[in-house]
Amino acid sequence: MNVDILAIDALALATSSLALFFVARLKSTYFLGSRFFIALANLAFIILLIQNTAVDVGPVDRSTRLYFAMISVTVTSLGFASYMMKVNSRLTGLKGLSEFIMRPPTQFIVYLGIVAAWTALALGLNYNTYDPPLLVANFLLLVSFLCMPVLTFYRLSLGTRDPKAATSIKTISISWALFGLVAFVQALVPPSPIELYSSVQSSTQLANGALFALIAFALREPTVLSRMLVTPSQSDRGFYFGAAKSGVVIYNMESDRRRIVEEFLETGAESTDPIFCYVTKSEVPFYRVLLQEIYPQEAQQRESKVTIRPIESSGLDAISSMEVSKSRRELIDFGDLDVAQCRRFVEERHRIDQTGRSPQARVWTLSIDAGRKNVLDDIAKLDPSVTIVDLAANQNVFSQRLGTRHQSLLGTRILLEYDPVSGYEEVVKEFAGEFVSNVEPVAVFTNLGSPVYKQLQQRQNIRLFVFSSKISTPSRATEGQVLLPDRDTSLLIDAVDKVVQAHKGRHVAIVIEAFTDLILSQGFEKSYGVLSSIMEMAESGSSTALVLINNSCIDDMILQGLRGLFRYNLRYGQDGLRSIRSLQSSSQPSDKSEARIDDETTPSWSPVS
């Protein structure tokens, strides 16, 4: 009995068991359902360690069949973990597993076939691990393992915008690769001399145990919010329409039409369906340049997938067979086309759809014009379920109340002190509506059942973070709603950070209604620190923050302390919206330090229609 080898065995077993313990104790993390299969692979490895330790302790025969079986379980489990991460961000539990099994990726099926063939060869024939036929099979299994699940998992890090998640994915995939290489080297050593064999077995097992510990650490780093926000689900990528099949965007000269096109192309980026953009002749150069700017490194590839066609020459007698294929996506921008031509084109699309060849998705864009209402009516007749997004209606609906324009709001901080019976949720609705109309993302942190929640819960293009006392870990309620544990300040900060990361380079609107409850439950000092951190994150990301405070239950001295963090200090009550102007003149606000926002600057406050 070699004491040194037994010590290595014990250390490897302890390391692997500790890794399994930490993985099992994890709650919801970025890796969701994949975590179960990583834990299963860890358990199979522990069984091998127990056998190896038993052989080193006493007269116990080593079972090659058990070794082969556990290796098969390990590589199969890691295959499930890799491809479940790739296919869907929300798969977890038995329901998620059943959905994955019903529609597995083709590459995953091929990989399972290779593992099954290797398992049948290893268990069905009386080969040792170092025999040439099995060595060849081991090498082929190693190559398949590295080129399929490991490479697939590693590639996920390249499309992940959360740095922590990307680092964790790379760490796990590299650890898997090293595990496969170590196991292959381990199988090369013959059992004689026994001292060398035992030493190599124990050392390689310790190395693999350390790799599982590294994986367990990597699993803990990114939170489940990274998965929900930075890696949105497929149906969540359409910012305007969500999962809707058809939509109409109404715009004017101030609207960001470029972002509309970007959204449409990005929503179908992972699909193999061809994309057809029908635009006026004068707009064709604009669309070609825009396509190259959006995908500068993939311009040639995108041009083969995206076809830009002038509407004037896209009548029924000029369309190709691909243009009436079911698997296609259409963007139709009427631009300055006259109403008669617009209606004629809508009628032709209707005739194509009646043949059973409607596209997977179709987005119409119309410039605001009274004469175009007939075109909108025709589109609605073509598809009564069409989603209409009016980008021209509310582009300055909130900022004009402050006597300014939308551009002046970008990157600012706004404090709104409200009377809870004043209908303040209408203010939030206008604020959010203005950012949506300017093609900018909106995130609202509210409480379950609050007036703001009830006002915005049906909006597809606003993301709600809803605090609830009924959950202990973050979870996705619907495509646009994420549930957070009540009064969890760390998750609040993390969620704001992830929102800013998910929309890096864009102006994000952040609304925080739940701050009053935070002050009452955790005190002013801690709440002030949380708010300061959030404001810093918002400012670094050029985001606009609107923070709501219920002034009927917060002391005036606390309000005075908060106001210094904001550029705009507003108050909304039964008499409308007021701007609190002279913040430094006294510790107590007076009637002289407030000025009502009325007809002298902007129209009086009115409910949003």
Find all residues with CB under 8 Å of 94, minimum gap 6, and list them.
none
Work out the percent of the chain whose per-residue pLDDT is above 70. 80
Q: Which candidate, 374, 324, 385, 314, places its Cα nearest to that of 345?
A: 314
Structure tokens at 275: 């994309």
- Confirm whether 162 is domain-assigned: yes
Q: What is the pLDDT of residue 92?
A: 54
Residues 89, 70 share a domain: yes
Is the whole model's pTM more than 0.85, yes or no?
no
Confidence label for 600 from pLDDT (cuts 50, 70 and 90):
very low
Residues 244, 158 share a domain: no
Give exposure, 299-310, as e/b (b: 16+ Cβ within 10 Å). Answer: eeebeebbebbe
- Confirm whether 608 is domain-assigned: no
**Residue 316 has what DSSP assignment?**
G
Residues 408, 379 share a domain: no
Q: What is the DSSP string of 348-380?
A: HHHHHHHTT---SEEEEEEE--GGGHHHHHHHH
Q: What is the pLDDT of residue 508?
A: 92
Residues 150, 11 share a domain: yes
Q: What is the pLDDT of residue 177?
A: 93
Work out the percent of the chain whose per-residue pLDDT is above 90. 20
Return the H-helix or E-strand segment holding 477: strand 475-478
- Show which of 361, 390, 419 is a domain's final residue: 390
Residues 340, 272 share a domain: yes
Q: Looking at the predicted structure, is the pLDDT value of residue 598 above 80?
A: no
Q: What is the pLDDT of residue 181?
A: 92
- Confirm whether 607 is domain-assigned: no
The amino acid that residue 541 corresponds to is G
Q: Which candidate, 569, 572, 573, 545, places its Cα nearest to that of 559?
A: 569
Q: Mind listing the pLDDT tens digit for each residue in 74-86?
A: 999 999 988 887 7
| From 373-377, 579-583, 596-600, the region with the lowest mean pLDDT | 596-600
Q: What is the pLDDT of residue 591?
A: 41
User: Are 438 and 406 contacting, i.e. CB atoms less than 8 angstroms apart?
Assistant: yes
Q: Mind listing the pLDDT tens digit for each residue in 473-514?
A: 777 777 778 888 887 888 889 889 888 887 887 889 999 998
- Confirm whether 566 is domain-assigned: yes
Partners of 332 in the β-ladder: 278, 364
**Residue 13 — φ and ψ, nearest 5°?**
-65, -40
Q: Looking at the predicted structure, is the pLDDT value of residue 356 above 70?
A: no
What are the Cα distances from residue 147, in Å, to 82, 247, 285?
12, 40, 41
Q: What is the pLDDT of residue 388?
A: 78
User: Are 153 and 95 contacting, i.e. CB atoms less than 8 angstroms apart?
Assistant: no
Report d(CA 451, CA 425) in Å as an integer.
6
Return the H-helix or E-strand segment holding 483: strand 481-485
User: Are 381 and 534 contacting, i.e. CB atoms less than 8 angstroms apart?
Assistant: no
Report d(CA 401, CA 413) in Å as an integer.
15
- Confirm whether 228 is domain-assigned: no
Q: What is the DSSP string of 69-104?
A: HHHHHHHHHHHHHHHHHHH-TT--HHHHHHHHHHS-
What's the structural domain count of the chain? 3
The long-range contacts involving 473-482, CB below 8 angstroms and separated by at least 24 positions, are 473/27, 473/28, 473/224, 474/28, 474/223, 474/224, 474/225, 474/228, 475/28, 475/224, 476/90, 476/228, 479/233, 479/235, 479/236, 479/242, 479/243, 480/236, 480/242, 481/457, 482/225, 482/228, 482/229
- Confirm whether 36 is domain-assigned: yes
Supply angle C-alpha 478, 452, 454, rounded to 5: 55
Q: What is the pLDDT of residue 603?
A: 35
- Show which of 196, 222, 248 is a domain's final residue: 222
User: Are 486 and 475 contacting, i.e. CB atoms less than 8 angstroms apart?
Assistant: no
Q: What is the pLDDT of residue 29?
A: 56
Residues 466, 365 share a domain: no
Give the mean pLDDT of the chain.
79
**Residue 367 — φ and ψ, nearest 5°?**
-75, 150
Q: What is the pLDDT of residue 268?
A: 58
Residues 154, 79 share a domain: yes
Q: What is the pLDDT of residue 147?
A: 94
Residues 386, 403 share a domain: no
Q: Mind listing the pLDDT tens digit for each residue in 447-474?
A: 988 999 999 988 777 889 999 888 877 7
Report d(CA 546, CA 544) in Å as an integer.
7
User: Are 191 and 199 contacting, i.e. CB atoms less than 8 angstroms apart?
Assistant: no
CATH code at position 104: 1.20.1070
Q: Which candidate, 466, 442, 486, 502, places its Cα nearest to that of 240?
A: 442
The mean pLDDT of 28-53, rounded to a whole number, is 80
Q: Looking at the predicted structure, is the pLDDT value of residue 369 above 90?
A: no
Q: Mind listing the pLDDT tens digit for each residue in 138-180?
A: 999 999 999 999 999 898 888 676 677 788 888 989 999 999 9
Find all residues with CB under 8 Å of 415, minimum gap 6, and list them.
547, 549, 562, 563, 565, 566, 568, 569, 570
Q: Looking at the predicted structure, is the pLDDT value of residue 224 above 60?
A: no
Q: What is the pLDDT of residue 140?
A: 94
User: Are 551 and 580 contacting, i.e. CB atoms less than 8 angstroms apart?
Assistant: no
Report d(CA 555, CA 48) in Å as an integer.
64
The mean pLDDT of 241-264, rounded to a whole number, is 72
Return the H-helix or E-strand segment holding 444: strand 442-447
Residues 195, 63 share a domain: yes
Q: Which residue has the higher pLDDT, 88 or 96?
A: 96
Report the range out of 266-270, 353-357, 476-480, 501-505 with the highest average pLDDT.
501-505
Residues 447, 329 share a domain: no
What are the Cα distances from residue 505, in Å, to 14, 235, 238, 261, 502?
46, 22, 18, 17, 9
Instruction: Tell me how crowded residue 73 is: count the other CB atoms within 10 A of its CB.
Output: 19
Residue 415, SS3 per DSSP: strand
Q: Which residue has the higher pLDDT, 130 or 567?
A: 567
Report the range out of 126-130, 364-368, 566-570 with the highest average pLDDT.
566-570
Supply angle C-alpha 537, 542, 546, rounded to 5: 75
Q: Looking at the predicted structure, is the pLDDT value of residue 592 above 60?
A: no
Partners of 481 in the β-ladder: 464, 478
Q: Which residue has the higher pLDDT, 93 or 251?
A: 251
Find all residues with CB under 8 Å of 164, minimum gap 6, and list them.
221, 222, 226
User: Are 73 and 102 contacting, i.e. CB atoms less than 8 angstroms apart?
Assistant: no
Return the H-helix or E-strand segment holding 607: none
- Show which of 176, 201, 222 is a domain's final residue: 222
Q: What is the pLDDT of residue 596?
A: 45
Instruction: Tell me how crowded residue 369 is: count the other CB atoms within 10 A of its CB.
Output: 13
Structure tokens at 247: 């939509």
- Confirm whether 287 is domain-assigned: yes
User: Is the four-CA dihedral 261, 263, 264, 266 of positive or negative sign?
Assistant: positive
User: Are 555 and 521 contacting, i.e. CB atoms less than 8 angstroms apart?
Assistant: no
Q: Looking at the predicted structure, is the pLDDT value of residue 354 above 70?
A: yes
Q: Mind listing the pLDDT tens digit for each residue in 297-330?
A: 554 454 567 888 898 887 766 666 666 666 788 8
Q: What is the pLDDT of residue 547?
A: 95
Residues 138, 182 share a domain: yes
- Confirm whether 93 is domain-assigned: yes
CATH code at position 266: 3.40.50.300
Range of the domain at 460: 399-596
| From 3-17, 294-308, 559-573, the region with the lowest mean pLDDT | 294-308
Residue 576, SS3 per DSSP: strand
Residues 451, 379 share a domain: no
Q: What is the pLDDT of residue 199?
A: 78
Q: What is the pLDDT of residue 236?
A: 40
Q: Which residue has the higher pLDDT, 325 or 425?
A: 425
Structure tokens at 244: 């809707």
Name the strands in the sheet holding 306-310, side by side, starting at the edge strand that comes first in the sequence.
306-310, 275-279, 329-333, 361-367, 246-251, 387-390
Q: What is the pLDDT of residue 549?
A: 94
Pairing of strands 475-478, 481-485: antiparallel
